A and B are shown apart, each in its own frame.
Chain A
Amino acid sequence: MNQTTAHSFFSRVTSIYVKWREARARKLQESLYYASQRQLVWHAFKTHKLARISLVVLAILYFVSIFADFFAPFGPLDRFKDFNDAPPTGIYFINADGKLIRPCVYETKRVLNTDTFKYEYSENPSKTHIIRFFVKTEPYKLLGFIPIRHKLFGLENRQVPLLLFGSDRLGRDVFSRVLFAGRISLFIGFGGVLVAFILGSILGGISGYYGGVVDEAIQRVIEVLISVPDIPIWIALSAALPRDWGTINIYFAITLILSIRGWTGLARVVRGRIISLREEEFALAAKAAGASDRRIIFKHLLPAFSSYLIVHITLAIPGMILGETALSFLGLGIRPPAVSWGTLLQEAQDVNVLANFPWMLIPALFVVGSILMFNFVGDGLRDAADPYASR
């Protein structure tokens, strides 16, 4: 008796659930019929788990970089004079008596062993410094205009080093520097990518749609431009631009100048797509119906390959991050004391770092990580951008 009641209860619950799911699916199905393209893309993108997670991680990365003043416990140039080349600070939950306490760091002293030339660290568990959230610091201006006097976390005594990723050669906190470096590395290429994108799609579109003399002219210009080598121009420009601009402005200017060459690849693809699309029936029909060129391009042709454009942008951004890192690593891009992931890695490029201070290579993880994320997002977008394609 008992058993049957239980059984019937269970089957009832199941059937309700099944019905609910069916109703939901139906609703979704119905909504798909009259969903806009954008909704469809978003729906398809949401089902791509890796892309979704990557997007969230990237958002966090960008957010934290923008508000690095708040998230980083120290400034990018703040030094701990007696703790250069120091390994990451240990964080403990137990004090000297073995009692569980809030996360803290132990007071650390170090001496140079004059024989081995290595620093020897001694931690004193009886002197602890509790890590506090929203710790008070000297007042500063977030983003340069919001007055604020708290950091996300830190120690009350600002003289005690709290080095999550260790410190660099001059005793600066690698964690804070990585966050501040993100500001430059994640953003500086945007301008160039944007200019290249706009030029590429407009000139490629004109070239493909109108054909004839205009097409010839644009294609020959493209051929001339792609024959120009990048790195020599880079070196020449970095020498030619006014010196009082500062290294970051110079880099930004060069990315803009180089984007004048960078649009060519995109333009060629756009041209090809437009040539094939303008012969399609829907385009011809629109033309026959007397639609203006403008309407045909923006209402009929552009949506048909916007998926490609979106993917192109998501893949161009990691390209620019890598470009910055590579050029700065070679000493051609951004130079210290400006902080970017490339300069952080450049400082880490010697045998000593590998052998004795491996924590200085942590910025590399951020470069690799952010680029992977962008590629996953691009992958998800590519799948999603054509929601009717069968998978």
Chain B
Amino acid sequence: MNMKRKAAKFLKLLSFSISVMLALVACRGDVDEASSNSAAETTGDAGSTESREAIEIPSTPPPPRLPSNGVSASGPISVSSQKYALPSKYNEVPFFVELVAAGKLPPISERLPLEPFVVGPGVLNSEQWLDWEVGRYGGTVRTTNLNGSMHELALAMGMTILRAPDQSTKNPLPAMVSSYEINSDFTQYTLTIREGLKWSDGVPVTTEDVRMTFELYGDERIYPTFPIKARTLGRADGPPGKITIIDNLTFRITFDFPYGQFLAELSSWIPDYTLLFRPAHFIKQFHADYTDMAEIQPILDELEIKTWEDLVILKDMRHWELYRAHGLGVPSLTPWIAEEVTSSVVRAVRNPYYWKVDIAGNQLPYIDRVEAEVSNQLQSIILKTAAGEYDVVTSFAQIREMPLYRENAARSNIKTVLHGSINNPPILFLNHDFDYETEDSIWQQLVSDPRFGSAIASAIDKEDVNNTLYFGRYTLDGFTKETFDPQVSNKLLDEIGMTERDADGFRTDPNGNRFELRITTAEVSPDFLGLGELLKSYFENVGVRTTLDVIGSSLFGQRMNGNELMATIHWSDEPIWPPGISEDYWPGFKGHWAPMSEMYFNTNGESGRKPPPYLQKFFDLHVARKVVPPQSEAGEALYADLVNWFSQHYVTIWPVGRMTVPTVYNADLGNVIKDGYPFDRALDYGMEQLFFKTLQ
């Protein structure tokens, strides 16, 4: 048995190293091809030759590429300090005074860690975007969510193990841990849990929780596959990270190859703390290896669940499940814990054991309760927001409603802040794998020629899109560098052979047959349709016949997975790609641009399409990026190469650059971010730092 396992592991390792080698070979092939095929690469070649060295990944193990900036100038990283000194005393929360007096809750000094995480100016948000002030205890924040999706609330609860301000993962401070150490080649991460850090039920967090988490990850009964983010290089075929328990508070995670991206995972709200910490004492109650089945059986009967494994799966949850009915009573490390979940409202109350304090010694959060109303109508959310019935609304407010919010500002006592977003406005995805199985596919011939993408991009009147749909408040940058010039567009289309016109006056394909650019979209947001109609008019203006197909989102998903869509309109998370928080530039994510090549990559060539060299270059860059922390010098250089690749190969075409979206606040709330802040999401505003200046 053991032998078998070892053999399997060896095979896995072998296949991984082979895949890396293959990637290298493909990359080399690309170099040759690029030089012989220089006509196709007319722009930005200077940048790519320089970066090519960085792309190459030799076979096992990849060499440590040491960044030379602050993160790990030379040798290992080790951080154990805080930005602010510990406050001299802690102020008891009025909300808990009675409970403490009655002896039902320990006093504040016993609830907090020995050295809590201290929040002051520039800790949760950089000082440029927030004039941080010490707040005051009390109040209820009313917010909302659509169809019980929990979006806003759940995201606000993504608490990270390390913390850098805003949406950054650069030089993070230890947050749930008191110190962290990374060795020089990013294979060993040693963390020490904050002494006295407690779950929301008062039980201390120890290395047993981490050990339990990894035990669950490796247990095929619970996790059919080991979670990808805890695997080396964050790859499906990467060897799982190994855990070493050093003492009660210190543990080490070891990877087989350099995995600098893991630093970003530790600082990202997407995997959040549940990546490493699950409440062992809580889960063990339901786990047959730790608790007698006789004790588990009544719980199973009550919940009408068949096996204890299913029970563990239900109770072992990520942070976004905490605010659902089955998340009630699950210990967490979040600022508020759910106390009531119904179909119409979710109520959460402050966590008495929350581990952050402000510089004046107040335990965060300032706000006692959060109440999220469940709505099933976006329009009713907008109306209620304008009427001031919510205190914080961000995901559901759009710039188109600005006249409404501004008009009602005084009457409803609301304040609208305009800021950036972690999402992009909708962009056009050209599917580079569409129709690849057809021999002499015209689409393949066109889409692999950068001149076609450039022609499409030059046909788009960015300024018009911006003024028409977004009050001219979005930016015009983005990955597409082309400016609006129908003449250039026409010239490029002529150059690639689309010179003939058919009876309707549209261009034919280079063989003289009818050509049609089919754009498909699901109406995720109201501006998708408007953009689609604008794009159609721009493309037809340069003679490219365009059809716009609007279908339901489930059908959209199906067709996308079936590689049936030529071009799609969707958004992605580009603003948080640089810090490595999101990776949805990935070819099969939001709007597909090469789903079959992605399948080939994920299955190590078992199925899908062997990417042509120019697409292979993307995968090489992607793998290379994982080796170093994303915001280290090397990481940033690799990201620049990636952006460059996107700009040159037109897999995504950007009608406008970055978004401007409103967040509607109760005007009485303090510690609110400023206009122009580059991101959104309640989390990085740090919902825990909000407070009411005058209590209602």
Contacts and interface: CB of A to CB of B under 8 A. Distances in A.
A171 interface: yes
Which interface class (under 10, 10 to 19, 20 to 34, 35 or more) fits B?
A: 35 or more
Interface of B is mostly: helix
A170 interface: yes
Given A117-B471, A171-B468, A350-B379, A337 B536 contact: yes
Contact of B548 (A79, A84, A336): A336
A352 B400 contact: yes
B547 A246 contact: yes
Contacts of B472: 112
B550 interface: yes
B550 A118 contact: no
A335 B549 CA distance: 8
B402 A239 contact: no
Given A170-B534, A246-B547, A355 B406 contact: no
A294 interface: no
Interface string A43-82: 0000000000000000000000000000000000101011
Interface in A158-199: 169-171
A116 B468 contact: no
B483 interface: no
B54 interface: no
B692 to A, nearest CB: 26
A243 B379 contact: no
B184 interface: no
Contact of A81 (B401, B468, B518, B551): B468
Contacts of B468: 81, 84, 169-171
Nearest to B547: A246
Contacts of B404: 351-352, 355-356
A118 B400 CA distance: 10
Interface residues of A, number: 30
Contacts of A246: 547
A166 to B, nearest CB: 15
Nearest to A77: B537
Contacts of B532: 336-337
Given A117-B471, A351-B382, A336 B555 contact: no
A239 B533 CA distance: 21
A18 B413 CA distance: 77
B401 A351 contact: yes
Interface in B330-389: 379, 382-383, 386
B298 interface: no
B612 interface: no
B666 to A, nearest CB: 20
B66 to A, nearest CB: 48
Given A170-B468, A170-B530, A243-B549, A352 B403 contact: yes
A113 B379 CA distance: 24
Interface in B401-419: 401-404, 406-407
Nearest to A346: B529
Contacts of B379: 349-351
Contacts of A349: 379
Contacts of A79: 537
B373 to A, nearest CB: 17
A115 B406 contact: yes
A117 B555 contact: no
Given A112-B472, A331-B523, A351 B534 contact: no
Contacts of B552: 235, 239, 331
B467 interface: yes
Contact of B406 (A117, A235, A351): A117
B103 interface: no
B526 A336 contact: no
A171 B467 CA distance: 11
B464 interface: yes
Nearest to A235: B552
Nearest to A332: B552
A244 B471 CA distance: 34
A170 B461 CA distance: 13
Nearest to A246: B547
Contacts of A235: 552
Given A81-B467, A81-B468, A331-B523, A118 B533 contact: no
Interface string B518-534: 10000100100110111
Contacts of A336: 529, 532-533, 548, 550
A186 B459 CA distance: 36
Given A79-B537, A81-B467, A337-B536, A350 B526 contact: yes
A77 B530 CA distance: 12
A79 B468 CA distance: 10
A244 B549 CA distance: 9
A70 B523 CA distance: 33
Contacts of B400: 352
A81 B464 contact: yes
Contacts of A84: 467-468
6 contacts: A170-B534, A235-B552, A243-B518, A336-B532, A351-B386, A352-B403
Given A170-B533, A352-B403, 20 more contacts: A79-B537, A82-B467, A84-B468, A116-B406, A117-B399, A118-B407, A169-B530, A170-B468, A171-B468, A239-B551, A243-B518, A246-B547, A247-B549, A331-B550, A335-B549, A335-B550, A336-B533, A351-B401, A355-B404, A356-B403
Interface of A: 77, 79, 81-82, 84, 112, 115-118, 169-171, 235, 239, 243-244, 246-247, 331, 335-337, 347, 349-352, 355-356
The 3 closest A-B pairs by CB, nearest first: A117-B402, A335-B550, A117-B403
